[in-house]
Amino acid sequence: MVTIAAPRLIDRLRSQRTQAPEGDLFDPDCPTRLVLDRIGDKWTALVVLLLSDGPMRFSELRGQLGRIAPKVLTQTLRRMERDGLLTREVFAEVPPRVQYTLTDLGHSLSGPLAAIGDWAEANVGRITAAQTAYDAVPGN
Amino acid sequence: MVTIAAPRLIDRLRSQRTQAPEGDLFDPDCPTRLVLDRIGDKWTALVVLLLSDGPMRFSELRGQLGRIAPKVLTQTLRRMERDGLLTREVFAEVPPRVQYTLTDLGHSLSGPLAAIGDWAEANVGRITAAQTAYDAVPGN
DNA sequence: CCGCATCCGCGATGATACTG
DNA sequence: CAGTATCATCGCGGATGCGG
């Protein structure tokens, strides 16, 4: 029933790659790997999805994420700012307010990420089922 | 110029969630988080993309991935097998041969993953540029 | 050829407490 | 409110060597 196939990446892989256009995921030395690392860290993907709806401030993000240490959230946001995924605006008010806004680059990532997220939410059941089935076999 | 938005996930987040249909990414206790962890680990995504083109054996994967320790590849493949993403077939030949094949579940993941991969390859330049720009500012 | 066993470093994550 | 500082942990990922 499932007939999705991965197109461009694999094609480029099969053909002898002489010069990657921009980046090559399968080149161990290509910084493209860094992108996957970022996406894969525990919070970046969630932050992108949250901010895709509009700017948020620190506490809002913290509340939505739940159980994230302030230090970790700061680290995540700083790294994302460095990567150009979001911008940070500090308002000299009392009480202080800091607003985080997704850049165009960040917005362009939210689409693919949402697809992954939807897939995850749709298929958790199958995965956990597969896990228990696997664990039920004595050999494993 | 970029106008992509993340749809369903956020909608579900905004509306008071009484009962998630299957899983809820923003619930800290939902195993959906595990999915992101898997995707985010260093090799799973690449393995899915490689296998989306057809079955491969251990050594082939190892060669394409480049610089992966056998132990780590084994761990990755076992975990993916447990999660129901691929199947493992051992052929009693000399020399022995072990073939890894993507399941339907695994194939259904390759689409979204390829999108992420394409995004990564297309935007590495912007990211690294943003990084050097960020690092050039004395304050950071 | 496949991959298991052992040892290990290190970065990511977290809990807690404190400050402008 | 929005962080910073400090300490502790934990498991990924890697190196190396051996076995079926």
Cα(A93)–Cα(A35) distance, integer angstroms? 35
Domain count, chain A: 1
Q: Which range marks the domain in which residue A47 is found?
A: 24-136
Q: What is the mean pLDDT of chain A?
A: 83
Phi, psi (deg, nearest 5) at residue A79 = -65, -40
| Confidence at residue A89, expressed as pLDDT on a 0 to 100 scale | 97
**Substitution target from A123, A131, A137 for chain B, most B beta carbons within 10 A:** A123
pLDDT tens digits along B20-47: 456 688 887 777 887 888 877 889 999 9
More confident of the two residues A41 and B110? B110
Q: C-alpha dihedral over B44, B50, B56, B60, to 10 degrees?
A: -90
Say whether A134 and B82 touch across the interface (CB within 8 A).
Answer: yes
In a domain, B1, yes or no: no
The CATH number linked to A90 is: 1.10.10.10
User: Is some CB atom of chain A closer than 8 A to the CB atom of B9?
Assistant: yes
Q: In which residue are the tokens 């664990």 written?
A: A135
Query: Residue A15 has what pLDDT?
Result: 37
pTM of the model: 0.85
CA-nearest residue of chain A to B118? A9
Protein-covered nucleotides on strand C (Cβ within 7 A): 1-6, 12-17, 20
Judge: B22–A122 Cβ closer than 8 Å, yes or no.
Answer: yes
Give the CA A71 to C1' D8 distance in Å.
15
Q: Are strands B56-57 and A86-91 parallel, antiparallel or unpaired?
A: unpaired
Q: Where are the beta strands (DSSP E) in B4-139?
A: 56-57, 86-91, 97-102
**Residue A77, domain member (yes or no):** yes
- Evaluate whether residue B18 is within a structural domain: no
Nearest CA in chain B to A110: B6
How confident is the model over B64-111, as pLDDT tens digits?
888 889 999 999 999 999 999 999 999 888 788 899 999 999 999 999
Structure tokens at B52: 């989306």
Please indicate, yes or no, if residue B11 is contained in any of the structural domains.
no
Number of Cβ within 10 Å of residue B126's Cβ equals 17
In a domain, B71, yes or no: yes
CA nearest neighbour of A31 among B104, B130, B98: B130
Residues of A in contact with B127 (CB under 8 A): 31, 34-35, 83-84, 105
Q: How far apart are CA B101 and CA A87, in angstroms?
A: 42
Instruction: Pick left, alpha or beta for residue A91 (phi over 0 → left; psi -120 to 50 → alpha; otherwise beta).
Output: beta
Q: What does the pLDDT look like over A50-104, one tens digit per residue?
A: 999 999 999 999 999 988 999 999 999 999 999 999 999 999 998 999 999 999 9
CA distances from A87 to A17, A103, A105, A109, B3 (A): 36, 7, 11, 15, 17
A88 in a domain, yes or no? yes
Cβ proximity of B43 and B77 under 8 Å: no
**For residue B125, is pLDDT > 60?**
yes
Find, among B112, B63, B118, the residue nearest to A21 by Cα. Answer: B118
User: CB–CB of B45/A36 below 8 Å?
Assistant: yes
> Is there a domain that residue B8 lies in?
no
What is the Cα–Cα distance from B130 to B137, expressed in whole angstroms? 11
- Give chain A residues 32-91 with Cβ within 7 A of strand D: 57-60, 69-71, 74, 77, 88, 90
